[in-house]
Structures are given as structure tokens and as C-alpha cells.
A and B are shown apart, each in its own frame.
Chain A
């Protein structure tokens, strides 16, 4: 699996957009970018995933660069409840389930 690089921590003021970067420079053509987050004492929560086009859902937006070597997860209006560890994961599209390889993630702290 391709590896990802994320900053270890970030701060964001409540109400502002949180932009979480991820570098995946060795990603291959059949690999998706997935984002999960883990709020304290809970299991990881799926946020969004994409292949090459930008994606948006009710939780967040995912911006993938044209060369697919990096991406940004955007939480448009961060709240205190968005404080969590955010994981960027690259995963092959195989048609069958494949494991998720978690890195160390970015610890996002949303403050008043």
C-alpha cells in the first residue's frame, strides 16, 4: 500500500474552515484516498473517499490534486465536536475488501 504523510497536529478556531493536508506521492492509479477520524474513546468514523475527482458530502469536502500526489480534507465550519485524530489512508480498489493501513494521523484541536 502507498504510504501517507500528515502533519502530527493542527489547531482551528471554531466556526472556521479546517484544512487537513495529506501527502501520498507514491499513490497508484487504482488506489483511493480515504479519510477517517477518531474521536476520543470511539472507533474510527468514515468521513469521505475519492479516486481523482473532488468529493463533497454532508461532513466534509475532499480536494485531490490533479497529479493525485496530495489531497486536502476540508471541514467547512469546524465545531468543538470535530476535535479528533484524522487519518488519511490510501487503499487499492480491488473489487474485494482490502485492509486499511492506519498511519499516525493529524490531531485536530478545535478551540473557542
Chain B
């Protein structure tokens, strides 16, 4: 049973910077896991932010960036806005087993 772990919650001040991480129970996350990041606000469908570790969709605000950090996938928000308060999910692709696993989500509070 593969488990993908995210911080359950984080708090950041408006204008600040915060990094969310995504770890795999199988070991270090690499680009081969094609990490995706999604934002979900209450009552809404998820919205895609990042794919293949660091690539942004056309609608992704510039303040969002993806990377690999210390064996984990990471999502960094720089210059956080109040509207960034949301749940954030990572998704990893395990090609060998042909399955995808979501992290448990990080609830980001902007305070």
C-alpha cells in the first residue's frame, strides 16, 4: 500500500512564502513520478496548478512554483494572497505499478 504524505496544515501570513511538500512511502520522489499539484476550495472542484514537477498550466499564477526538495515534491507559494487559502493536493504517478496516488492534502490558512 503506497502512501503519499503531505503536511496536514500550514499557516502563512499574507505576502509571505510557504512550501508544501509531498513524500512517497516508497522512497525519494523524482521527476519520474510526474508530480502534479491541485488546489481545491470549499464546494469547488479541484483546479490543476502544476504538472511534471514544475510546469505551470496557462492559468497558474506566477507566485506558484513546483520543484523537488530533499527527496520530496514541493509546491512553493511566494507572495501569498488571501485567495490562496485552500486545500492543496499532490498526485504521484507510479509507472511501474501503473497507478496514481494522491497525498492526503494540506490545508493552507492565510492569516
Pair from one complex: no
Show the binding face of A for B, using Cβ within 8 Å.
none
